[in-house]
Amino acid sequence: MAVIKDRSVGVILYCKFPRSLKFLILKHKKGHWSFAKGHKDKGETAFETANRELHEEAGIDDVEFVSKRILLIEEYTFTNRNKDKVRKEVSYFIARSKTKKVRIDKREITGYKWCTLNAADKVITFRQSRKTLKKANKLILKMLKSKIKVK
């Protein structure tokens, strides 16, 4: 059994709704609910990958990134169908969507929801992703209170 390292880049996207902040949660073709994310293309920076994945999976381009730096890293291990152990690392940016319109790529994504933190906690499939969202929410609330961007 081999140990495979796998790295992805994603975006935790939020939007201000009239009474709450909501997060974009996507249902991936493999069946799990999570965030827009994917692998880097050759020559791409992590920031470029995050933008591309958000565009490809959700059709969203009108966003404001909280920072051009990676703000959260999610790590977990799983066994793939070949019985290999996979050590997965997903680096996340955080961005505010200026639109609520989502246009999913049906080849990769089968559904989406804008969810409050509590609703997202019930929808997101993996425990590690739920923890990551809670950390993102704390950062966002702190930033909104201070009205200062993270550099």
Q: Mind listing the pLDDT tens digit for each residue in 38-57?
A: 999 999 999 999 999 999 99
Per-residue pLDDT, 1? 65
**Mean of the per-residue pLDDT values of the chain:** 93
Determine what percent of the chain is predicted with pLDDT higher than 90: 83
HSE toward the beta carbon, residue 145, CA cutoff 13 A: 6
pLDDT grade for 36, boundaries at 50, 70 and 90: very high
The mean per-residue pLDDT over the stretch 18-44 comes to 95
Q: Rg for the chain (alpha carbons), in Å?
A: 15
The lowest-confidence range among 10-14, 52-56, 104-108 is 104-108
Contact by Cβ (8 Å): 150, 67: yes
Tokens of 38: 């994917």
pLDDT at 149: 52
Domains along the chain with CATH numbers:
3-146 (3.90.79.10)
Which residues face 112 on adjacent strands?
26
Residue 32 reports pLDDT greater than 90: yes
- Measured distance CA(133)–CA(144) in Å, rounded: 16
Res 148: pLDDT = 54
Interval 58-94: pLDDT, tens: 999 999 999 999 999 999 888 888 889 999 999 999 9
